[in-house]
Amino acid sequence: MGGGENAVAQTRPEGRDAARTHGPGISDTLGAAWRMPPMRTSMPMLPPLMRLRPSVAPFLPDAGVDPITLPEAVPSRIVKLSDGDTLALKASFVRRRIGGRSYVMYAFNGQYPGPLIRVPQGATIVIDFTNRIDLPTAVHWHGVRVENRYDGVPGVTQDPVPPGGRFVYHVRFQDAGIYWYHPHHREDIQQDLGLYGNIFVEPLDREYFGPANREEFLVLDDLLVDERGIFPYGREAATHTLMGRFGNVLLVNGEPAWTLDVKRGEVVRFFLTNASNTRLFNLAFGDARMKVVGADIGRFEREEWVSSVVLAPAQRYVIDVRFPEAGQIALENRIQAIDHYFALFYPQVDTLGLVSVSTDAVRENHGSSFEELREVTEVMSELGPYRSHLKRAPDYELTLTLRAGELPLTVRQMMQLDTLYFPPVEWNDAMPLMNYVSTAREVTWVLRDARTGAENMDIEWRFRVGDVVKIRLHNEIRALHPMQHPMHFHGQRFLVLSQDGVANNNLVWKDTVLMPTGATTDILLELSNPGRWIAHCHIAEHLEAGMKMVFTVEPPQGS
Ligand code: C2O
Ligand code: CU
């Protein structure tokens, strides 16, 4: 398919009333037509922009059966596995009820999120995966230092699993903590439609975390819907490649109104994962203090109090929260929204759910240990020595930038108007029309090796197991429309040494680092896992728009 005329011209957007005749029922194939994206009504409708449509055909999942016959998705269940166990994992169509409406979506084992896999540290499990959706797919074990051939990256470590196909993964979990799994093939569609789940690797050390009354696993996400159902995706290439696809329904564990009942005085350990395509969350539980204890791959050197926690796509945080008084506490997303048309910033608070604290006191009171901030001596002695790399020059430098030359002139002009101010982070979709018509055909997000000039998949760095390399990432502000990028490295772990020249005084192993607009960040990548891996931006639409590169890790010398 060629330019902007195809596919799109025949499916003229209908008015809101026409849309309403499809009713609040299950989104059907009539839903797969381009129309104006949902947006805040205060945004002016600029005629030249309103006529624009993406250069690709609209896509919505098609089960090939009456949606009413699809199984209704159920909430996530915990699957406890031991070393050597096998889990049958199936990606398939489901009906999902969200906010009183039904949608055709995807799920792992019919659950939203997919099954929560609980394994002891050190275990290896077998995942017998079958694909019963209408697209090729694969499963990636995010943050897990898996054997390279099970990393689930089509085109790099495996072929995509075709519809009807099967692939058996062997996954070993050497690091304790919270991980997640998701497809690595058109994840802008598949992950967005529900294909994701958590993995909790139980630490061998029983005192690994401080005492808590319970553990809760929260996956944050969002979904873009309008009157006709789920807003279509791009068939041949991803849409929304400028800012990524922001949803207008915020979800916690797949629910628009998440709830939790606790007893007065309970200390709850929350394992947070951001599974959204592009949205960052800034989470707070009312005015409750939150104690941050861990992140992507393990614990911080020191526990710290925070009033809110920022999660970029793919990042995880482990936080302890105590609820000392009876009543209701809102789980909120507190952001600084932007309106690019009026150059306005405005605070926005969305309530994602409610914690109801009963008047009965919890039996086991961890109040006093909760007040203590632990210094984790094992982590300090493990990570502290890496600070010796702080002052030395970087081994590699990577520039993050954008090429948007193929966009329609109107869009480019609008983007240029917008270069007067750059927020470090875009928390919302401040230009939904320009964003949605910008597909991966017109937009290329770029990782550029500053030394060689090589870009994206032309970059192939070579390392050896045991190497520790310092990489300077720079998110270029001169780009036409700069944006933050959560950068993820596969198969390894790294430390964030410094950002904008400020040394990080509380280290933790990570696999995804948020690069705000204009930021320069030094990371120290530990090469521990041989194979050919990718590094990329974890905004699903930026990945689709090219923002990925390769690095090879040779086995240790003499092996
Ligand atoms: Cu969450 Cu390349 O992965
Ligand atoms: Cu990005």
| pLDDT tens column, 43-52 | 566 677 778 8
Please give the model's pTM, rounded to 2 decimal places.
0.93
Ligand 1 center–CA 259 separation, angstroms: 29
Instruction: Check pLDDT > 60 for residue 29.
Output: no
Atom of ligand 1 at shortest distance to CA of 548? 2
| pLDDT tens column, 190-244 | 999 999 999 999 999 999 999 999 999 999 999 999 999 999 999 999 999 999 9
- Same-fold call for 214-383 versus 386-554: yes
Instruction: Check pLDDT > 60 for residue 363.
Output: yes
**Torsional sign, CA 123, 128, 133, 136:** positive
Q: Is 542 in the pocket of ligand 1 (CB under 6 A)?
A: no
Ligand 1 center–CA 302 separation, angstroms: 27
Q: Is 448 in the pocket of ligand 1 (CB under 6 A)?
A: no
pLDDT level of residue 3 (50, 70, 90 thresholds): very low
More confident residue, 371 or 434: 371
Question: Could you tell me the fold of the domain covering 214-383?
Answer: Immunoglobulin-like (2.60.40)
Longest dimension (CA), the chain: 71
**Which range among 62-66, 397-401, 431-435, 496-500 shows the weakest confidence by mean pLDDT?**
431-435
| pLDDT tens column, 160-188 | 999 999 999 999 999 999 999 999 999 99
> DSSP per residue over 216-285, as a string?
EEEEEEEE-EETTEEPPEESSS-S-TTT----SEEEETTBSSEEEEEEETEEEEEEEEE--SS--EEEEE
Instruction: Check pLDDT > 50 for residue 348.
Output: yes
> DSSP per residue over 159-215, as a string?
--B-TT-EEEEEEE--S-EEEEEE-SSSHHHHTTTT--EEEEEE-SSTTSS---SEE
CA distance 543 to 535: 10
- The neighbouring-strand residues paired with 475 are 400
Q: 434, 66, 433, 22: which is closest to 229 by C-alpha? A: 22
| pLDDT tens column, 272-302 | 999 999 999 999 999 999 999 999 999 999 9
Supply the residue whose CA is at minimum distance from atom 3 of ligand 1. Answer: 142
Q: Is 140 in the pocket of ligand 1 (CB under 6 A)?
A: yes
Q: Is 470 in the pocket of ligand 1 (CB under 6 A)?
A: no
Q: Determine which helix (DSSP H) or strand (DSSP E) holds 527, and give its type and residue range.
A: none
In this structure, what DSSP letter does residue 23 have? T
Instruction: Check pLDDT > 80 for residue 17.
Output: no
Contact present, 484 and 312 (Cβ < 8 Å):
yes
Q: Is 543 in the pocket of ligand 1 (CB under 6 A)?
A: no
| pLDDT tens column, 456-485 | 999 999 999 999 999 999 999 876 778 999
Ligand 1 center–CA 541 separation, angstroms: 12
Atom of ligand 1 at shortest distance to CA of 143? 1
Ligand 1 center–CA 226 separation, angstroms: 28
CA distance 373 to 364: 19
From the CB of residue 349, how many other CB atoms can be counted at a distance below 10 Å? 11
Ligand 1 center–CA 488 separation, angstroms: 7
Ligand 2 center–CA 486 separation, angstroms: 6
Over its C-alpha atoms, the chain yields an Rg (Å, rounded) of 23
Atom of ligand 1 at shortest distance to CA of 153? 2
What is the model's pLDDT at position 31?
65
Q: Is 316 in the pocket of ligand 1 (CB under 6 A)?
A: no
Instruction: Check pLDDT > 50 for residue 25.
Output: no
The domain over range 386-554 is classified in CATH as 2.60.40.420: yes
CA angle 467, 471, 475 (to 5 degrees): 160
Domain positions in the chain: 214-383, 386-554
CA distance 407 to 444: 10
Supply the residue whose CA is at minimum distance from atom 1 of ligand 1. Answer: 142
- Provide the token pair at 165: 């196909």
Contact present, 439 and 239 (Cβ < 8 Å):
yes
pLDDT level of residue 322 (50, 70, 90 thresholds): very high
Range 525-547 burial, b when 16+ CB lie within 10 A, else e:
bbbbbbbbbbbbbbbbbbbbbbb
> DSSP per residue over 29-42, as a string?
GGG-S--PPP--TT
CA distance 436 to 274: 22
Instruction: Check pLDDT > 90 for residue 311.
Output: yes
* Average pLDDT for 304-314: 96
